[in-house]
Amino acid sequence: MNDELIQRAAAQIQASKRPCVLTGAGVSKESDIPTFRDALDGLWAQYDPRQLATPTAFARDPKLVWDFYEMRRARMRPAKPNPGHVALAGIERLKGRLPVITQNVDDLHERGGSTQVIHLHGLIAHNKCSRDCQGNPTLIDVSQMEWDRASGPPPCPHCGAPVRPDVVWFGEMLPREPLERAYNTASQCDLMLVIGTSGIITPAADMPLIAKRSGATLIEINPHASELTPVMDMWLEAPSGEVLPRILAAMERL
Ligand code: BV8
């Protein structure tokens, strides 16, 4: 990644008054959390995550979907924020404010030091009643529960319905409050960093378009072209864990 592009991006961010970020699975790739485009391996290689991350799949086979999430949670547990997450927090400290709209269900942005994280698709560490029997969402802490784990998800202690991960599945509405915050952030920003997303999933992929319509500068960081690359003002074609620390260092020198 040539230094001229890094310098240009740093200057644009430095000059911005209301910068924000949209991230996808790619920003956590260097924390060893596989992206959705990475083929699932081992037992799960035969599955397409998009077929498992649906209410239909859960209704048909709660144990299969629960085990899919248990496998992903086990994989995520040792994950640490990578230099990309940490550099975003550094840019937030320099700018005073840097809201991060994320599609990711891990908590690596928070653990990397970002203080304003908007989770469009929920958090994989949280569970809820699949009927939301006490209101939306009816969060359930399974860590205190005893059940036959080989049988799949535990029953909701209130109504007996199977417990499910508190994430947004395909075909499900996004949680209203984070979605509203994301729309407001995207429409009021003057610069959006778009990092590690293929730009396929809506309404997350609409955020850069909303920002652009409001006159924002769009800067993409992704080693591969995405569905959004054509609307970008700049495309830094490299991994975020390499680029973001260099942008932060360049900003600190400005
Ligand atoms: C909704 C949580 C209204 C779960 C996720 C037809 C029928 C029904 C629905 C639809 C339809 N057509 C369109 C839709 C809407 C649908 C959708 O977008 N479908 C797609 C398949 C076309 N969206 C929805 O259903 C959403 N809800 O619209 O509600 C509605 C209601 C009813 C009916 C219709 C509409 C809900 C979508 C949320 C799904 N849940 N996650 C879980 O995680 O298990 S989405 C999930 O996949 C992730 O959260 C993530 O958002 C997405 C994958 O996207 P990315 O993050 O971009 O990751 P990806 O792997 O694709 O790409 C990684 C990128 O990183 C790559 O570009 C790669 O190059 C890059 N990269 C790799 N390494 C690095 C890197 N970048 C930087 N550095 C690196 N080192």
Atom from ligand 1 closest to the CA of residue 35: 60
Q: How many angstroms separate the alpha carbon of residue 144 from the centre of ligand 1?
A: 32
Q: What is the pLDDT of residue 38?
A: 80
pLDDT confidence of residue 29: 96
Cα-to-centroid distance, 158 and ligand 1 (Å):
32
Looking at the DSSP bridge assignments, the partners of residue 122 are 167
What's the confidence (pLDDT) of residue 49? 86
Token output for 4? 């001229």
* pTM (2 d.p.): 0.97
**202-227 burial by CB neighbour count: b if 16+ within 10 A, else e?**
eebbebbebbbeeebbbbbbbeeebe
Cα gap 212→146, rounded to integer Å? 50
Cβ of 170 closer than 6 Å to ligand 1, yes or no, is yes
User: Which residues are annotated as catalytic?
Assistant: 121
pLDDT value of position 48:
87
**Contacts for 233-237: CB closer than 8 Å, 24+ residues apart:** 234/5, 234/8, 234/9, 234/12, 236/1, 236/5, 236/6, 236/9, 237/1
Alpha-carbon span 48 to 29, nearest angstrom: 18
Tens-digit pLDDT string for the chain (254 aa): 889 999 999 999 999 999 999 999 999 999 999 888 786 777 778 888 888 999 999 999 999 999 999 999 999 999 999 999 999 999 999 999 999 999 999 999 999 999 999 999 999 999 999 999 999 999 999 999 999 999 999 999 999 999 999 999 999 999 999 999 999 999 999 999 999 999 999 999 999 999 999 999 999 999 999 999 999 999 999 999 999 999 999 999 99
Contact 210, 183 (CB under 8 A): yes
Q: State both tokens at 139.
A: 């969060």
- Can you give the pLDDT at residue 41? 76
Sorted by where each starts, the structural domains of the chain and their CATH numbers stand as: 1-32+80-121+174-254 (3.40.50.1220), 34-78+124-167 (3.30.1600.10)
CB distance 226 to ligand 1 below 6 Å: yes
Q: What is the C-alpha separation between 103 and 63, in angstroms, rounded?
A: 25
120 lines ligand 1 (CB under 6 A): no
Cα(201) to ligand 1 centroid in Å equals: 3
Ligand 1 lined by 14 (C-beta under 6 Å): no
- E strands in the chain: 19-23, 100-102, 117-119, 122-129, 139-140, 163-167, 191-195, 217-221, 234-236
